[in-house]
Amino acid sequence: MADPVSWFVIERGWKVVDADGEEVGTVDEVVGDSNDDIFNGLAVATRLFGQPRYVPAEDVRTIVEGSVQLALTKDEIGHLDEFEEPPTSAEILPEKAGIVRRAEATVEAPIQTHEHPMNIWRRAWFALRRLFGR
């Protein structure tokens, strides 16, 4: 068995396996705050044209190079909610804050994001990318 790796190295397209070791999909997106080293979870593509499912970090068992094993069975994964892009969080400053202070305000976002909503054409594009590599 390979050595475990950090959630920071997870990439789109990595294999996702269930608690029994059976492949159930691929990583579509990693959600977390890299500044504070907080891993929230994964968006996992379980079907070719389906909306990715959200897997919370507490349901991730092990992460090794190229693969993520979940602590869930295939049936439990099928009942997970669809992934919804988390909103970007930003520090809200008072109206009196100067332009320099506003420019210095931090903005946090997911590690990887989709620039557009997942309509049928975007789903087809991601499905093709998963089939034929990056």
CB burial readout 21-40, b (16+ within 10 A) else e: eeebbbbbbbbbeeeeeebb
User: What ranges do the domains of the chain cover?
Assistant: 7-132
The number of helices, as runs of H, and strands, as runs of E, in the chain is 3, 8
More confident residue, 116 or 26: 26
The token pair that represents 67 in the structure block: 């693969």
Residue that the structure tokens 């930003």 belong to: 90
CA distances from 44 to 36, 79, 91 (A): 23, 13, 29
**Which tens digits make up the pLDDT trace of 86-103?**
655 555 556 666 655 555
Mean pLDDT of the chain: 79
CB atoms within 10 A of CB 52: 24
Banded model confidence at residue 109, pLDDT cuts 50, 70, 90 = very low
pLDDT of residue 33: 85
More confident residue, 65 or 123: 65
CATH value of 7-132 in 3.90.1150.10, 1.10.3720.10, 2.30.30.240, 3.90.650.10 = 2.30.30.240
Banded model confidence at residue 39, pLDDT cuts 50, 70, 90 = very high
Banded model confidence at residue 105, pLDDT cuts 50, 70, 90 = low
- The pLDDT of 21-50, averaged and rounded, is 89
pLDDT of residue 108: 47
Q: What is the rounded (10 degree) CA torsion for 74, 13, 47, 7?
A: 40
Specify the DSSP element, H or E, that contains 47: none
- The pLDDT of 72-76, averaged and rounded, is 92
Looking only at the bridges linking them, the beta strands covering 15-17 and 67-70 are parallel
Instruction: Give the DSSP letter of residue 82.
Output: B
Share of the chain above pLDDT 70, in %: 71
